[in-house]
Amino acid sequence: MLYKKKSPLLVFVIPGLLFLTIFLYLPFLENIKNSCFDMTSIVKMPGSDWKYIGADNYQKLLTDKDLMVAIANSFKMMFLTVVFEVGIGFVLAILVMNIKKGQQIFRTIFFFPIVISATAIGLLFKLFYNFNGGMLNQILLGMGHEPVNWLNPQLAFVMVSIPTLWSYVGFYFVILLTGLSDISDDIYEAAEIDGCSKLKQVGYITIPLMKSVLATCVTLAVTGALKIFDLPWVIVPNGAPQGLTHFLGTYMYQVTFGMNNYDYGSVLAIVIVVMGVLISKAVGVLTAEKKERRV
Amino acid sequence: MKKKVLSVLLVAAMTASMLAGCGAAKEEAAGTEEVKVEEEVQTAETEAPADEQQAEEAKNPVTLKTVSMFGGTDPNAPIYEEINKAFMEENSYITVEDNSQVSDEEWKATIAADFSVGNEPDVLQFFTDATANTIIATDKFVTVEEIKAEYPEYAKDTLDAALTAVTNTDGVSRAIPTTGYWEGLYCNKDLFDQYGVELPTDWESLTNAIAVFKENGIIPIACSLNNVPHYWIEFLMLYSAGEESYTSVPETAPAEWAAGLETFKTLRDMGAFPEDTDTVDDAYVGQLFKDKKAAMQLDGSWYLGGVTDVENTVVIPFPGVENQKAKAGALVGGMSSGFYITKKAWDDPDKRDAAVKFVMAHTNKDSVQKYWNGNGQAACAVEPIDGMSPLALSGLEYSSAASSICAPTDSRIDPEAYKIIVGGIVKVSTGELSAQDLLDEALSVNAARK
């Protein structure tokens, strides 16, 4: 124990706690209060009254089809991020770890999309997908095929997911590569002497020793999927087409600032916070279980 | 003990750094108070003969905080800035601190937030219709009547009809307008000639034109249903419901309003809109029209300035809808913005005069002539412009021949209610949502806000 008396520690905690209280907790409580009023403007104007509507907005949640689409898309994206972002990142990390020369080049190449802003990537892919004059359709036309509406209701989610997933593979690649470099070469050498193939080394050595790093990546990927906003908003604003590509963040933004429905937007913000807390907790519990098993 | 002392020191340093900004603000505020006191003293001294007052003004600098929607990429921005520059040169004791931006929802929210916390500007150029209702409710504007009582020359060039047009929804006149607008159907006449199609004059000729263009791989109508379906909403409802019903504010949607919006589905099924109308934005479809990939585009008078081929583009009246009730040539347009003076400026003796001068500089005949430039409607009696382009002449001809002019729906109903209509158009066009349900939802929100 560093300190016998814990009271001095409070002194360190208070500034941060104050900051959080003022800029996070109080606005959140205000948000809960606002969700029970019919807000006519984003801030209460002097001389105007907001009508109390109780739980009307919460009842609306249950019948809101667009919200269901947004929740379903967010969950789909959570699954996809774990499989593709962490999965591909892991495969790339193992491959790069096993090459002797040029590691640094691959690190740079794979990490590069992280450096580009999501808005720029979104704009880039928007131009790829454009029906009139977009890059993909120009290629198709050049090959004598009919142009395709890449963002039609059937394809839109997939087409939005591709850049979203691609842009973050490098992030998990770097984390996992760092984790891999912590595993001692002696273990692999011993396994090789015992006749263990490269593939078996991954299954019996790498994955078990990387569990904690992988768990961290999964936590980051799942919680990150809940916060997806900028890239889909640039490629398909307003959940286009027909609200099918809404995620929780984009839907809340559209309702609040696009539709001026500030009170319902407040309820959606609460939904995002509650879901975020529950999902983080669930992932935390799963990670903790793994640690216990290892012990 | 040492650790305790160290921890206290660290916390003190952290707290001090956090409060540093506040300290600076306080100092600044203190400084401002001093200036205010100084200004008050000077104000008392200014109650002297007129020429002495003028001399005093020269020594008494005034900083005027102004906000307008003539900022960024707005076509009026260069003229606004030019007038501001000339105004400051002419009145060397006045400094204009301008924070103009292009009008969008975030800008409107910023204005509302500023008014709610007492940070409103001295002069604001803003909407005068229902959009302004929330800030009008704060009672922070001076009425034109009050200003005219002290400054009889105020708005002397502004036409009475223009002044009436920008009366706020509570019937009080607070703003002075510069120009108004019209909305009309822009057509690439060269494409019509190329494919042997007549410019549409009614629903039949419109559907015929759509069919011909569709067959020939030309997008008939450049419109983004996901982004800006506003112009089509207005004209379809106006022509379907007729002027009287269109300008009413019912609590449930009249069947003819719904019939108007259902035309979106008819047009979509005919292939009138771009293939990707659900995902593209307004700037993109505008470019399709300018690049001659689309034949028609419904837009406002402000769009005229951005059209590159002014020789082969024309503005024509809306062709109409099936079973239309509006008169041929009816258009959507009007005046819906103007310069306001806030009470904050009015109650400050120095700023009062500067604010009035500023508004007069922007709303006098010469300035209005510059803002108008042959496009839209002018709030003053303006002189015809020599060398107008064929497109500008076409626009002028179109607006002058209007059989009736109606303000758009968003000038009458609550912004949130209007956004519900706009947000639901894609679903109406696909048949997923009925226009009646959409309009009923919007009008019930509007009724609840009354």
Tell me whether strands B123-127 and B62-67 are parallel, antiparallel or unpaired. Answer: parallel
Interchain pair B276, A40: CB under 8 A: no
| Residue range of the domain that includes B247 | 183-333+394-448
Query: Are residues B228 and B251 located together in one domain of the fold?
Result: yes
Which residue is listed with tokens 């002397």? B156
pLDDT exceeds cutoff 90 at A100: no
Query: Are residues B217 and B346 located together in one domain of the fold?
Result: no
pLDDT exceeds cutoff 80 at A124: yes
Q: What is the pLDDT of residues B48-76, one digit of tens each?
A: 445 555 555 555 799 999 999 999 878 88
- Whether residue B29 lies inside any domain: the answer is no
- Whether residue B352 lies inside any domain: the answer is yes
Residue B8 has what pLDDT? 60
Going by the DSSP 8-state scheme, the letter that residue B107 receives in this structure is H
The whole-angstrom separation of Cα A244 and Cα A249 is 14
Query: Are residues B110 and B141 located together in one domain of the fold?
Result: yes
Residue B302 has what pLDDT? 86
Interchain pair A259, B414: CB under 8 A: no
Q: Which of A38, A41, A151 sits opposite B112 (nearest CB)?
A: A41
In the predicted model, what is the mean pLDDT of residues B26-54? Answer: 46
The domain spanning residue B369 has which CATH number?
Answer: 3.40.190.10
Average pLDDT score over chain A: 91
Residue A204 identity: Y
Interface probe for B, chosen from A3, A39, A44, A45 (most Cβ of B below 10 Å), is A45
Residue B274 has what pLDDT? 96
Q: Which of B423, B427, B448 sits opposite A38 (nearest CB)?
A: B448
Interchain pair B449, A242: CB under 8 A: no
Query: Are residues B222 and B304 located together in one domain of the fold?
Result: yes
pLDDT exceeds cutoff 60 at A5: yes
Residue A40 has what pLDDT? 85
Higher pLDDT, B11 or A95: A95
Residue B34 has what pLDDT? 44
In the predicted model, what is the mean pLDDT of residues A73-85? Answer: 96
Show residues of chain A in contact with B293, CB under 8 Å: 132
Closest CA to A236 of A70, A80, A123: A123
Interchain pair A257, B8: CB under 8 A: no
Interchain pair A260, B415: CB under 8 A: yes
Higher pLDDT, B242 or A44: B242
In the predicted model, what is the mean pLDDT of residues B369-386? Answer: 86
DSSP secondary structure letters along B164-218: HHT--TTS----B--EEEEEEEEEEHHHHHHTT-PPP-SHHHHHHHHHHHHHTT-
Query: Are residues B140 and B241 located together in one domain of the fold?
Result: no
Interface probe for A, chosen from B8, B110, B131, B276 (most Cβ of A below 10 Å), is B276
Give the helix/strand (H/E) hosting B68.
none
**Which residues lie closer than 8 Å to B235 by C-beta, 6 or more apart?**
B183, B298, B318, B332
Higher pLDDT, A183 or A288: A183
Q: How many structural domains is chain B composed of? A: 2
Show residues of chain A in contact with B13, CB under 8 Å: none
In the predicted model, what is the mean pLDDT of residues B418-438? Answer: 95
Average pLDDT score over chain B: 88
Interface probe for B, chosen from A2, A40, A262 (most Cβ of B below 10 Å), is A40
Residue A265 has what pLDDT? 96
Among B34-43, B92-101, B398-407, the least confident range? B34-43
- Neighbouring CB atoms inside 10 A of B247's CB total 16
Look up the pTM and report it.
0.81
pLDDT exceeds cutoff 70 at A283: yes
Q: Which of A153, A240, A260 sits opposite B416 (nearest CB)?
A: A260
Interchain pair A45, B112: CB under 8 A: yes
pLDDT exceeds cutoff 90 at B400: no
Query: Are residues B206 and B351 located together in one domain of the fold?
Result: no
pLDDT exceeds cutoff 80 at B9: no
Residue B7 has what pLDDT? 58
Q: What is the pLDDT of residues B99-114, one digit of tens each?
A: 999 888 778 888 988 9
- Neighbouring CB atoms inside 10 A of B218's CB total 20
Q: Return the top range by mean pLDDT from A46-55, A205-214, B7-16, B182-191.
A: B182-191
Q: In sequence order, which ranges of chain A are alpha helices (DSSP H)?
A: 7-20, 26-34, 56-63, 65-80, 87-97, 103-115, 118-129, 135-142, 156-181, 185-193, 198-201, 207-209, 211-226, 230-235, 248-253, 262-294
Higher pLDDT, A11 or B255: B255
Residue A16 has what pLDDT? 94
User: What are the residue boundaries of the structural domains of chain A, listed by start?
Assistant: 63-294
pLDDT exceeds cutoff 50 at A295: no
**Which residues lie closer than 8 Å to A177 by C-beta, 6 or more apart?**
A93, A96, A97, A107
**Residues A177/A97, Cβ–Cβ less than 8 Å:** yes
- Whether residue B275 lies inside any domain: the answer is yes
Question: Distance of CA B98 to CAs A224, B85, B90, B321, B371, Å?
Answer: 40, 11, 17, 45, 18
Residue B249: φ, ψ to 5°: -125, 80
In the predicted model, what is the mean pLDDT of residues B116-143? Answer: 93
pLDDT exceeds cutoff 70 at B32: no
Residue B43 has what pLDDT? 46
Residue A3 has what pLDDT? 63
Q: Sorting pLDDT into bands at 50, 70 and 90, what band is B2? A: low
Q: What is the pLDDT of residues B314-349, one digit of tens each?
A: 999 999 999 999 999 999 999 999 999 999 999 998
Report ipTM for this prediction: 0.82
Query: Are residues B124 and B218 located together in one domain of the fold?
Result: no
Query: Are residues B344 and B256 located together in one domain of the fold?
Result: no
Residue B285 has what pLDDT? 94
Residues of A with a Cβ under 8 Å from any B Cβ are 3, 8, 11-12, 14-15, 38, 40-48, 51, 130-132, 149, 151, 153, 156, 236-238, 240-243, 254, 257-261
Residue B23 has what pLDDT? 42
- Neighbouring CB atoms inside 10 A of B64's CB total 23
The whole-angstrom separation of Cα A122 and Cα B125 is 34
Interchain pair B423, A259: CB under 8 A: yes
Would you identify the CATH topology of the domain A63-294? MetI-like fold (1.10.3720)
pLDDT exceeds cutoff 80 at B129: yes
Interchain pair A41, B226: CB under 8 A: no
Among A135-149, B14-28, B77-91, B196-210, the least confident range? B14-28
Query: Are residues B87 and B101 located together in one domain of the fold?
Result: yes
Q: What is the pLDDT of residues B207-234, one digit of tens each?
A: 999 999 999 999 999 999 999 999 999 9
Residue A103 has what pLDDT? 87
Q: How many CB pairs under 8 A join A and B?
A: 109
Higher pLDDT, B33 or B213: B213
- Whether residue B342 lies inside any domain: the answer is yes
Q: Which residue of A has its CA nearest to B431?
A: A242
**How far is the first Cα of chain B from the last one, in angstroms, to the nearest whole number?**
66
pLDDT exceeds cutoff 50 at B376: yes
Show residues of chain B in contact with A156, CB under 8 Å: 279
Interchain pair A46, B113: CB under 8 A: no
**The last residue of a domain, from among B350, B378, B406:** B378
- Whether residue B270 lies inside any domain: the answer is yes
Q: Which residue of A has its CA nearest to B11?
A: A12
In the predicted model, what is the mean pLDDT of residues A103-122? Answer: 92
